[in-house]
């Protein structure tokens, strides 16, 4: 605050100078005799000076933070120069006052000795005359100097009036612009008053000087002291207004510089974020590619092992199929040989049976024929019808014995395979025996018949035994062959079962290997090659980069909109500040114009400016909302980047 107070003291003129001015005014009031009207106007001027002091204090309170003198060196230098000019003017004024006081003191000293004698008066008359002449010369010279000073002051006042007229024109332009802007805002927003709450009554509006006021100002400016005070006040007010305007311009420039730096920082932050994202993506891609290459190498090794196992199993299957085909071929050949052997055995068996039957029948026929011819040929029995009927079964004799005979013949043929002729001839022999027993010569014939019968029975028994033995031999051979055949068949069946079991096991292994091969193919499809994986990762990376670019474009657009809104808000705030400053300048000018008049001042001039609030900063609720929105948007972008990193890592 020290620099700020020093700058304010330099601009305004300092408290010491004000005290000196007050003392000088008091001395001047004590020395100079005013008329009642002049005294009343002097009191009004004192009141107005007090109001100006209060306004200056208010301005000091409303001045922003320190180091203004460092930020505004040209303004500080200008204020120092103006203060130096004012000090020179005040010193000149003080010298003139001192000279006038000395002249008055001399006059009083000259008029003081009332009790002087005439002699003394007569002696001192020439001296007094010389002194009066000197005083007149000094007064003339001082009058010339005062006229020159008054001319200079009149020039300064004219320049100040010209500046005041320019400022009034500027205020009129600002008021017209404000009215047009208010009308536009009322059309767009619907609010009838813009910045109505921030301005007090009488601050914006200002009326031009009227004729009466001009006359009053001209009458008031006739007095050199009033002109000096008015000039000092006008210069101070103009300096304060110019300082405020320069401060507002510097604040606008500073705000633009800060916005530019903010944009640069945001651009740098975006570049850093992009570089960090690219670095993280590159590291993640390198880690992922190394892991995928390792997994791919392991899968390739497993695939090679499985392919080797599959090739071995295929070779084993080929060998087993070849062995199976060879075994089946050998089994078919053996079965064909066994079938041919079985057919040959059956043929031989049938042939042996037919041969044995034919041999037996031939033997029986020869023996029966021989004995019949031998016995019946001698006795002539062969010509009898009974024997013929028995020998020839197609005879006409149909008795019960014949039926019984044919029944026995069929039974014997089925059971013992005895020849029909043998049985017929045996029956014929029995018939002959019966006939001989009935006839005369029964004894000899019966004995012979019994002998032949016994002999035939023995032969039949021998033949039967031979047939049985041959049949037994055939049965033994067939049983042995059947046993061999069954044994060979069981061995072959066992071999076939073993081969079938091996084939089933191999088929199961082949199915398992095929399943594993399918799994390996599926894994290879689900886990592609490094080139395919790199292509997929490149596509994912490009898609993520495009998403990030779109998000960044959206963010940049939002940030641009925010900056546009901020700039609009800053322009509105600057416009409002300019209006406030213009209103303050107009008020100060109006106060200056009213203070320069020697007439009665208006009641609207003296305003309790000390009741205004001090400077608390330029932040508004809209700016706070914008700051919150900006911080929320930055957090959203940060969370979005974190989510993208998490997605890429997993």
Which among 230-244, 284-298, 524-538, 628-642 has the top mean pLDDT? 628-642
Pick the closest to residue 60 from 18, 9, 131 (CA basis).
9
Q: Which residue has the higher pLDDT, 614 or 46?
A: 46
**DSSP designation for 374:** I
* Structure confidence at residue 301 (pLDDT): 80
Q: How confident is the model at residue 362 (pLDDT cuts 50, 70, 90)?
A: low
* Structure confidence at residue 464 (pLDDT): 64
Torsion of CA 503, 509, 512, 514, to 10 degrees: -80
- In a domain, residue 42? The reply is no
8 Å CB contact between 206 and 168: yes
Q: How confident is the model at residue 363 (pLDDT cuts 50, 70, 90)?
A: low
Range with the poorest average pLDDT among 66-70, 177-181, 439-443: 439-443
Q: How confident is the model at residue 77 (pLDDT cuts 50, 70, 90)?
A: low
Please say whether the dihedral angle defined by the alpha carbons of residues 452, 457, 458 and 464, taken in this order, is positive or negative.
positive
- In a domain, residue 423? The reply is yes
Pick the closest to residue 99 from 138, 41, 54, 155 (CA basis).
138
- For 506-527, write each residue's pLDDT tens digit: 778 778 877 877 777 777 667 6
Q: Which residue has the higher pLDDT, 271 or 123?
A: 271
* Structure confidence at residue 126 (pLDDT): 53
Domain region containing 476:
306-526
Torsion of CA 244, 245, 246, 251, to 10 degrees: 90
Range with the poorest average pLDDT among 269-278, 457-466, 531-540, 634-643: 457-466
Please say whether the dihedral angle defined by the alpha carbons of residues 292, 295, 300 and 301, taken in this order, is positive or negative.
positive
Q: How confident is the model at residue 613 (pLDDT cuts 50, 70, 90)?
A: very low
* Structure confidence at residue 40 (pLDDT): 80
8 Å CB contact between 425 and 372: yes
- In a domain, residue 522? The reply is yes
- For 312-350, write each residue's pLDDT tens digit: 777 777 777 787 777 777 767 766 776 666 676 667 667
pTM recorded for the entire structure: 0.21
- In a domain, residue 202? The reply is no
8 Å CB contact between 324 and 499: yes
Range with the poorest average pLDDT among 313-317, 362-366, 604-608: 604-608
* Structure confidence at residue 365 (pLDDT): 60
Q: How confident is the model at residue 611 (pLDDT cuts 50, 70, 90)?
A: very low
CA distance 182 to 192: 7
* Structure confidence at residue 90 (pLDDT): 73
CA distance 414 to 410: 6
Q: How many helices and strands in the chain, by DSSP H and E?
A: 15, 0
- For 244-262, write each residue's pLDDT tens digit: 667 666 766 776 777 777 7
Q: Count up the domains in the chain and report the number.
A: 1
Any idea which residue has 């090739």 for tokens? 311
- In a domain, residue 311? The reply is yes
Rg (CA), the chain: 77
* Structure confidence at residue 440 (pLDDT): 43
- In a domain, residue 35? The reply is no
* Structure confidence at residue 15 (pLDDT): 42
- In a domain, residue 201? The reply is no
* Structure confidence at residue 518 (pLDDT): 79
* Structure confidence at residue 403 (pLDDT): 47
Please say whether the dihedral angle defined by the alpha carbons of residues 85, 90, 93 and 99, taken in this order, is positive or negative.
negative
Range with the poorest average pLDDT among 41-55, 56-70, 276-290: 56-70
- For 425-436, write each residue's pLDDT tens digit: 555 555 544 544
* Structure confidence at residue 395 (pLDDT): 42
- For 472-509, write each residue's pLDDT tens digit: 666 666 666 666 666 766 777 777 778 778 777 877 87
Mean pLDDT across the chain: 65
- For 374-421, write each residue's pLDDT tens digit: 544 544 444 444 344 444 444 444 444 444 554 454 445 444 444 444
* Structure confidence at residue 279 (pLDDT): 75
CA 322, chain centre distance (Å): 62
Mean pLDDT over 194-216 rounds to 46
- In a domain, residue 504? The reply is yes
**Does pLDDT of 135 surpass 50?**
yes
């Amino acid at each position: 605050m020290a620099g700020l107070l020093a700058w304010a003291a330099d601009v305004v003129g300092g408290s010491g100078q004000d005290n000196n001015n007050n003392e000088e005014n008091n001395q001047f009031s004590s020395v100079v005799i005013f008329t009642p009207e002049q005294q009343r106007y002097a009191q009004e001027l004192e009141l107005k000076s007090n109001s100006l002091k209060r306004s200056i204090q208010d301005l000091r309170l409303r001045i922003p933070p320190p180091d203004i003198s460092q930020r505004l060196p040209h303004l500080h230098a200008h204020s120092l120069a103006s203060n130096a000019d004012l000090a020179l003017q005040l010193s000149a004024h003080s010298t003139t006052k001192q000279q006038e006081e000395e002249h008055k003191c001399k006059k009083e000293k000259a008029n003081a000795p009332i009790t002087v004698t005439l002699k003394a008066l007569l002696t001192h008359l020439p001296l007094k005359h010389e002194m009066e002449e000197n005083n007149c010369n000094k007064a003339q010279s001082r009058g010339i100097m005062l006229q020159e000073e008054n001319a200079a002051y009149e020039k300064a006042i004219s320049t100040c009036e010209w500046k005041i007229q320019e400022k009034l024109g500027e205020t009129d332009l600002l008021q017209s612009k404000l009215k047009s802007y208010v009308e536009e805002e009322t059309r767009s927003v619907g609010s009838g008053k813009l910045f109505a709450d921030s301005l007090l009554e009488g601050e914006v509006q200002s009326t031009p000087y009227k004729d009466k006021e001009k006359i009053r100002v001209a009458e008031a400016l006739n007095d050199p002291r009033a002109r000096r005070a008015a000039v000092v006040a006008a210069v101070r007010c103009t300096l304060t207004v110019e300082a405020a305007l320069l401060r507002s311009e510097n604040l606008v420039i500073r705000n633009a510089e800060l916005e530019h730096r903010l944009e640069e920082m945001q651009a740098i932050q975006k570049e850093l974020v992009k570089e960090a994202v690219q670095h993280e993506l590159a590291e993640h891609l390198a880690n992922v590619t190394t892991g995928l290459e390792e997994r791919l190498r392991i899968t390739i090794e497993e695939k090679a092992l499985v392919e080797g196992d599959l090739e071995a199993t295929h070779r084993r299957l080929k060998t087993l199929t070849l062995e199976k085909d060879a075994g089946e071929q050998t089994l078919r050949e053996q079965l064909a040989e066994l079938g041919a052997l079985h057919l040959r055995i059956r043929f031989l068996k049938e042939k042996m049976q037919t041969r044995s039957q034919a041999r037996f029948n031939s033997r029986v026929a020869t023996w029966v024929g021989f004995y019949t011819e031998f016995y019946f040929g001698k006795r002539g029995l062969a010509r009898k019808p009974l024997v013929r009927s028995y020998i020839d079964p197609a005879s006409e004799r149909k008795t019960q014995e014949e039926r019984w005979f044919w029944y026995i013949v069929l039974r014997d043929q089925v059971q013992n395979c005895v020849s029909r002729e043998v049985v017929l001839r045996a029956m014929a022999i029995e018939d002959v025996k019966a006939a001989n027993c009935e006839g005369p010569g029964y004894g000899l014939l019966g004995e012979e018949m019994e002998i032949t019968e016994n002999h035939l029975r023995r032969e039949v028994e021998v033949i039967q035994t031979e047939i049985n033995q041959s049949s037994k031999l055939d049965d033994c051979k067939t049983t042995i062959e059947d046993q061999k055949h069954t044994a060979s068949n069981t061995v072959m069946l066992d071999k076939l079962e073993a081969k079938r079991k091996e084939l089933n096991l191999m088929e199961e292994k082949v199915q398992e290997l095929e399943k594993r091969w399918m799994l390996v193919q599926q894994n290879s499809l689900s886990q592609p090659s490094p080139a395919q994986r790199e292509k997929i990762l490149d596509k994912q990376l490009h898609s993520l980069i495009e998403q990030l670019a779109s998000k960044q474009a959206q963010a940049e657009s939002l940030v641009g909109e925010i900056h546009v809104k901020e700039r609009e808000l800053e322009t509105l705030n600057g416009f409002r500040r300019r209006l406030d400053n213009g209103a303050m300048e107009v008020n100060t000018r109006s106060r200056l114009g009213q203070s320069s008049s020697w007439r009665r001042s208006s009641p609207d001039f003296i305003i309790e400016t000390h009741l205004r609030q001090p400077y608390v900063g330029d932040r508004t609720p809209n700016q706070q909302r914008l700051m919150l929105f900006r911080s929320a948007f930055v957090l959203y972008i940060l969370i979005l980047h974190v989510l993208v990193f998490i997605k890429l890592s997993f």
